[in-house]
């Protein structure tokens, strides 16, 4: 492992990529602590902790590294871009024109451009809504937004919108000149923000020694399970016949189709938690200090059995729903038939698509159940052990997934140059 890390800095272009990525991370983290003009950061933090923590905005704040609760210039993070990307993915499953654009390089460039336009529109909408919503909010007699005219409010909207656009540009730069997927990497850095605070707050609790042993065991087991489930695949064997073109023989080989156990990634948890946060958000703003609002907050609040059951069902539903959008067995079967490939014992074409779809439906269920367990684990730990360590959920899945992708990309750079990789046993013999 240490030798693999040392090999990273022996490759000039890889060293430059890593240093560039670290520089972009520093810029991003600085921006998450610079207050946007017109926002009182101290009052904003107090208002968030008392009024918004259990709402959709509280979930949002987890993905942007606390920048939203601080009222920073990067307060919305890269999330408007993520929402725009998901929107066009959903749109592609409804409109064949969009789906056709996503199938070739030129079309994907157009969809990317449309995604950027929608990102700007969403950032303007989010910043305008936030500015208008907070304009009359106070905490302890102090306004969340400092007193000022329309120009100051417009400056706040412009700054928050520009911050999202700047982060979108940084994310694309990391993808082009750095290591890993830039957009995912920015979310990864944001998710890491809450870990030190969770550890410090938990360490201050006075608990028996066996509670700490159990907690550490759960942490190790959970992260090992996340790594296993993230990389787990179901391999379907595929056979390609021999083809003679001129004097050369092509094909005649056996390969496989790797179907991921968790094809939808963290999207089901994001959708499920967002929907479950909407009632509390509406109750907080539309029915403040009423019996109805209190009932919604309690019964659909984090940790209540009804909340847990509904969230688990939503995660399973969205796991199947999103998998059906991002993976099309019919297209895969048609491509295999066109190339002459077939699954042994299964007819090419419609039968192959039906077979793949059946396998996918079977392996999606355990993946969805695992996502549900990960999402609900924080409330179980808090209730049984009496600790506030937020272990599990979307943030930790993102951390594990992006970390694995980044390590694999670094591995590929090392192996291409015949260096020993980061992981034990990953070594390629070749030219020196």
**Which tens digit of pLDDT belongs to each residue from 288-304?**
777 877 788 778 777 77
389 neighbors 373 (Cβ within 8 angstroms): no
Cα gap 329→363, rounded to integer Å:
14
Where does 206-387 sit in CATH, by number?
A: 1.10.3370.10
Question: What value does the mean pLDDT take over residues 211-219?
Answer: 82
Nearest by Cα to 53 from 68, 43, 39:
68
User: Residue 428: what pLDDT?
Assistant: 44
CATH number 1.10.3370.10 is the correct assignment for the domain at 1-203 = yes
- pLDDT band at 48, cuts 50/70/90? confident
Instruction: Give yes or no for residue 113 having a pLDDT over 50.
Output: yes
Instruction: Give yes or no for residue 3 having a pLDDT over 60.
Output: no
Q: Where in the chain is the domain with CATH 1.10.3370.10?
A: 1-203, 206-387
Q: Is 183 helix (H, G, I), strand (E, B) or coil?
A: helix
Identify which has the larger pLDDT, 234 or 3: 234
For residue 121 the two structure tokens come to 């529109």
**Which tens digit of pLDDT belongs to each residue from 369-399?**
988 888 887 777 776 777 666 555 677 788 8
User: Residue 147: what pLDDT?
Assistant: 81
- pLDDT band at 251, cuts 50/70/90? low
User: Residue 7: what pLDDT?
Assistant: 67
User: Residue 117: what pLDDT?
Assistant: 95
Question: What value does the mean pLDDT take over residues 242-265?
Answer: 73
User: Residue 74: what pLDDT?
Assistant: 94
User: Residue 291: what pLDDT?
Assistant: 80
**Which distant-in-sequence residues (6+ apart) come within 8 Å of 36 by Cβ?**
71, 72, 73, 75, 156, 159, 160, 163
Cα gap 381→385, rounded to integer Å:
6
User: Residue 316: what pLDDT?
Assistant: 92
- pLDDT band at 364, cuts 50/70/90? very high
Q: Where are the alpha helices (DSSP H) in 32-104?
A: 41-47, 56-63, 67-70, 79-94, 96-101
Nearest by Cα to 346 from 359, 355, 357:
355
- pLDDT band at 246, cuts 50/70/90? low
The percentage of the chain sitting over the pLDDT mark of 90, rounded to a whole number, equals: 23
Would the CA dihedral through 385, 386, 388, 394 be positive or negative?
Answer: positive
- pLDDT band at 68, cuts 50/70/90? very high
CA-CA distances (angstroms) from residue 248 to 244, 253, 255?
6, 15, 20
Instruction: Give yes or no for residue 213 having a pLDDT over 70.
Output: yes
Question: What value does the mean pLDDT take over residues 297-322?
Answer: 85
- pLDDT band at 432, cuts 50/70/90? very low
Angle in degrees, CA 396, 124, 266, rounded to 5:
20
Residues paired with 35 in a beta bridge? 72
- pLDDT band at 431, cuts 50/70/90? very low
Whole-model pTM over 0.85 = no
The H or E element that residue 138 is part of is: strand 138-139
- Averaged pLDDT of the chain: 83
């Amino acid at each position: 492992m240490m030798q693999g890390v040392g090999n990273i800095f022996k490759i000039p272009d890889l060293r430059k990529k890593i240093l560039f990525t670290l520089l972009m991370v520093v810029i991003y983290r600085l921006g998450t602590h610079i207050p946007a003009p017109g926002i009182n950061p101290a009052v904003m933090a107090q208002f968030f902790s008392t009024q918004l923590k259990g709402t959709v905005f509280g979930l949002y704040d987890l993905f942007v590294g606390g920048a939203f609760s601080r009222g920073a210039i990067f307060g919305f993070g890269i999330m408007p871009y993520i929402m725009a990307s998901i929107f066009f993915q959903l749109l592609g499953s409804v409109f064949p024109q969009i789906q056709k654009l996503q199938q070739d390089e030129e079309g994907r460039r157009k969809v990317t451009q449309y995604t950027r336009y929608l990102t700007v529109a969403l950032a303007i909408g989010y910043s305008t809504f936030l500015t208008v919503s907070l304009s009359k909010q106070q905490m302890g007699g102090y306004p969340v937004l400092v007193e000022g005219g329309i120009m100051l409010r417009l400056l706040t909207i412009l700054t928050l919108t520009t911050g999202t656009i700047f982060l979108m540009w940084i994310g694309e730069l990391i993808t082009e000149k750095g290591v890993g997927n830039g957009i995912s990497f920015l979310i990864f850095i944001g998710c890491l923000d809450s870990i030190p605070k969770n550890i410090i707050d938990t360490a201050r609790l006075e608990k028996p020694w066996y509670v700490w042993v159990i907690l550490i065991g759960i942490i190790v087991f959970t992260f090992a399970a996340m790594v296993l489930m993230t990389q787990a695949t179901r391999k379907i064997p595929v056979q390609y016949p021999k083809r003679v073109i001129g004097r050369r023989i092509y094909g005649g080989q056996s390969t496989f189709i790797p179907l991921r156990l968790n094809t939808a990634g963290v999207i089901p948890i994001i959708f499920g938690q967002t929907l479950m946060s909407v009632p509390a958000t509406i109750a907080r703003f539309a029915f403040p200090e009423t019996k109805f609002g209190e009932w919604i907050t309690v019964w659909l609040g984090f940790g209540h059995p009804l909340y847990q059951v509904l969230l688990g069902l939503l995660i399973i539903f969205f796991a199947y729903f999103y998998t059906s959008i991002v993976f099309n067995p019919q297209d895969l079967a048609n491509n295999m038939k066109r190339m002459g490939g077939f699954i042994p014992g299964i007819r090419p074409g419609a039968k192959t698509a039906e077979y793949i779809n059946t396998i996918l439906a079977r392996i999606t269920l355990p993946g969805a159940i695992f996502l549900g367990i990960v999402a609900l684990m924080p409330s179980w730990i808090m209730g049984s052990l009496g600790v506030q360590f937020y272990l599990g959920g979307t943030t930790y899945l993102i951390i594990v997934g992006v970390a694995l992708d980044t390590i694999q990309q670094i591995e590929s750079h090392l192996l291409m140059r015949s260096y020993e990789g980061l992981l034990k046993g990953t070594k390629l013999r070749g030219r020196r």
